[in-house]
């Protein structure tokens, strides 16, 4: 195990991390996009992005795109490289405000969090479409870990914290249990060559209807490229 620092709220830090990783000349077989914040008060990243959208979504969007060529080189016909992105059941109630992705007009911690998790599902489906169109030996899937007992809940109301403290042993998954579907997506032979799936409890499940809107997927992808300052390669894909 080797640690390498990467702050997903900082585009500069992400670029620096990728440079360090490239210098190692290592293959990359599995990328798990797992970092996130939930229900934080309104604040911005150092690049001026609303924190939920900037960290939960844009940070992973940029990191994945910068590592995509290495993933493509590492995957083979019989052993695809895999990208696993962790979303949440909250995406089912999320609404993507393409004209206000930064929640500047009206900020709601719940709305901003749900939007970032919906964006991750849309991103995964569009990414898989592009990978398939390019004939790449890389798959992209999205995971719902369930309700897990972690520090993610530190910004909820104190009443919710009390209820969580009283019921976590019964209703919440342990971190190990919460990670099981991510591990399944990363290493299971059953998932070899399978991409564009939404997984919950190690089963393929239907995501929100809006997540299958291909036009919305493309529009979010194009806008995300503009926001993080990379070339939108999808426009050259038939």
Q: pLDDT for 120-134, tens place per residue?
A: 999 999 999 999 999
Per-residue confidence band for 171, with pLDDT thresholds at 50, 70 and 90: low
Q: Which residues are part of the catalytic machinery? A: 113
Average the pLDDT over 8-13 and give the result. Answer: 97
CATH architecture of 11-233: 3-Layer(aba) Sandwich (3.40)
Average the pLDDT over 156-164 and give the result. Answer: 45
Instruction: Identify whether the C-beta of residue 50 lies closer than 8 Å to the C-beta of residue 103.
Output: yes
Read off φ and ψ for residue 213, nearest 5 degrees.
-75, 105
Residue 96 CB contacts under 8 Å (≥ 6 apart), including other chains: 115, 118, 119, 122, 210, 216, 220
Helix-strand-coil split of the chain, %, nearest 5? 50, 10, 35
Q: What pLDDT is stored for residue 41 in this prediction?
A: 86
What is the rounded CA–CA span in Å between residue 133 and residue 221? Answer: 15
- Annotated domain spans of the chain: 11-233
Secondary structure (DSSP) of 55-81: IIIIIHHHHHHHHHHHHHHH--SSS-E
What is the rounded CA–CA span in Å between residue 128 and residue 70? Answer: 16
Per-residue confidence band for 145, with pLDDT thresholds at 50, 70 and 90: confident
């Amino acid at each position: 195990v080797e640690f390498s620092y990467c702050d997903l709220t900082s585009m500069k830090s992400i670029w620096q991390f990728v440079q360090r990783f490239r210098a190692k000349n290592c293959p990359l077989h599995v990328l798990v996009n797992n970092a996130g914040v939930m229900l934080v008060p309104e604040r911005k990243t150092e690049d001026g992005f609303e924190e939920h959208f900037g960290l939960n979504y844009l940070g992973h969007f940029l990191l994945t795109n910068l590592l995509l060529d290495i993933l493509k080189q590492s995957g083979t016909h019989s052993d695809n490289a895999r990208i696993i992105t962790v979303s949440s059941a909250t995406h089912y109630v999320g609404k993507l405000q393409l004209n206000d992705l930064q929640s500047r007009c009206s900020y709601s911690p719940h709305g901003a969090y749900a939007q970032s998790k919906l964006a991750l599902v849309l991103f995964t489906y569009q990414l898989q479409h592009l990978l398939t169109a390019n004939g790449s030996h890389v798959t992209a899937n999205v995971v719902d870990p369930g309700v897990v007992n972690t520090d993610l809940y530190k910004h909820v109301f104190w009443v919710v914290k009390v209820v969580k403290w009283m019921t976590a042993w019964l209703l919440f998954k342990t971190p190990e249990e919460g990670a099981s579907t991510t591990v399944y997506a990363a290493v299971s032979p059953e998932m070899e060559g399978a991409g564009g799936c939404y997984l919950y409890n190690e089963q393929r499940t239907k995501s929100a209807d809006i997540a299958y809107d291909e036009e919305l997927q493309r529009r979010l992808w194009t806008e995300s490229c503009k926001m993080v300052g990379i070339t939108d390669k999808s426009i050259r894909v038939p």
